[in-house]
Chain A
Amino acid sequence: MNLAKEAMDWLDRRLGVSDLIHSNMGGYLLPRNINIWYTLGAVLMAMFGLQFLTGIVLLVYYVPHTEKAFASVTMIMNEVPYGWLLRYLHVVGSNLIMVFLLLHLLSVLFMGSYKRPRELTWLSGFGLLNLGFAFCLTGYLLPWSQLSFWATTVATDAAGAIPVVGDYLVAFLRGGPSVGEATLGRFFALHVMGLPMAFLGLVGFHLFCVRRIGISSPPFGEDYQPTALTQHFHHEEHPGGVPFHPNYTIKDLSMVFFALAALVAITFYAPWLFIPLDALDPADPFTTPEHIKPEWYFLWAYQTLKIFPSELLGLASQGAAMGFLAILPFLDRSPERRPGKRPIFVALYLLGILLFVGLSIWGHYS
């Protein structure tokens, strides 16, 4: 008697698992010309999974208290066996996640995959990008270093520019007039419980949307034709396509391994890329270090605030840019997805990338 087959049959009789597996794996067909950019979702899932794992084990030793947080992180780095490895994987992993999130965003924009009927997939993905930012912001404070303390002070201070409620909002974010024990408590709770729960819910919805609506065809090649819009729900099928498993899962897995190789290479050879010198001193609320800068993915926002004569204008421009991105599928309603036939969009797309990179470099050297 084959025990595995018996177990499978037992489950199958009750839950119909073989049908479920077939319809989502071997029988789930993807476009034949699907490209490598479609693997970024799987790469991000793997990287987030690793963040969950390393985050949980770091919690074994981390103490969320202003008097003990820095010492506990120092202990993890210097005394706990392989503590340095798990912390570096967590730190470097968070930065790589931002890279892959941005690449995912750019590829979806370039291929027009955000367009109708995928507005909800886009909105949930955009929400996940912002959750990524929130994970980074809240996690940044936890080591309670000079860098953590002052970067959080500057980041939370920006909310003060909002008229009428600004001061209250700053105090609410910090749990008091300045960054302190209350800030650490709420950022810790958000980082390890609030945000992960929101993330799991949103990623579940995102994947549901992807599966329910169907994978969008890459808008390249002579065979591509824009999908006609319908008034009713339509699942995009790809008859004659390649099966999700094993064809695409192998490609997904290969890219996941490339991402892990990059993660391990930076972790072993250049972890200092993401851990500047100010991160090595414990927080001192009475001494602001010189040239305090946010992480690279916030540099564009940091520089925007410096360019505008008023902080409110800077914040408003950031809000406008993010708001525009969020509602893009509702503004860009044409079914055309081929980049060659969308010259205005592609020009704006390239300008947007240049602006992001330019502001970030400017912010870094300013």
Chain B
Amino acid sequence: MSDISENSSQRRTFLGIILGAIGAVIAGAFSWPLFRFLSPIKKSGEAGQVKIPRQQVQVGGAHFFSFQGRPAVLLQPQAGEFVALSAVCTHLGCIVKWVGDKQEFLCPCHAGRFSPAGQVLGGPPPEPLNTYTVAVDGDDILIS
């Protein structure tokens, strides 16, 4: 009787180990799809280039757009000269505003100021705005 009980207990332990191992494999196998599901996904326009019609940005004006999922801005300081910058302030991540009268960026959060080239003019921002490569393609501006 005790042999049967011991045998049964051993089988149960073995089954428990097998089930635990299968459970661990299943949990491992499904945690990857779950992680990938919850990871940020790339949408069209978030990778590569963004094309903006030339007439959307006036001389001395600014055009805000989304580049790689982040706010960016395209300027035309002088006719035919284009500059593309990140619109994210390097201080605490607020979005800068274009002040046309002063031809400079102002961050509304802590009054950081940037030049049209993205250089820090004043305030707390520790670094200049990120710049992007700009190319003119006929009537379009390509930002990459």
Contacts and interface: CB of A to CB of B under 8 A. Distances in A.
Interface in B28-66: 33-34, 36-39, 41
A159 B104 CA distance: 65
Nearest to B43: A79
A102 interface: no
Contacts of A85: 33
B41 A253 contact: no
Contacts, number: 39
**At the interface, is chain A mostly helix, strand, loop or mixed?**
helix
Contacts of A83: 37
Interface stretch (B15-23, B80-88, B91-99): B15-23
A259 to B, nearest CB: 12
Contacts of B16: 246, 250, 253
Contacts of A250: 12, 15-16, 19
A260 B22 CA distance: 11
B85 to A, nearest CB: 30
B4 interface: no
Nearest to A83: B37
A81 B12 contact: no
Interface string A45-80: 000000000000100100000000000000000011
Contacts of B41: 79-81
A60 B36 CA distance: 13
B1 interface: no
A250 B10 CA distance: 12
B12 A257 contact: no
A238 B34 CA distance: 43
B15 A254 contact: yes
Contact of A82 (B13, B22, B37): B37
A80 B36 CA distance: 8
Contacts of B33: 81-82, 85-86
A247 interface: yes
B79 interface: no
Interface of B: 12-13, 15-16, 19, 22-23, 26, 33-34, 36-39, 41
Interface of A: 57, 60, 79-83, 85-86, 246-247, 250, 253-254, 257, 260
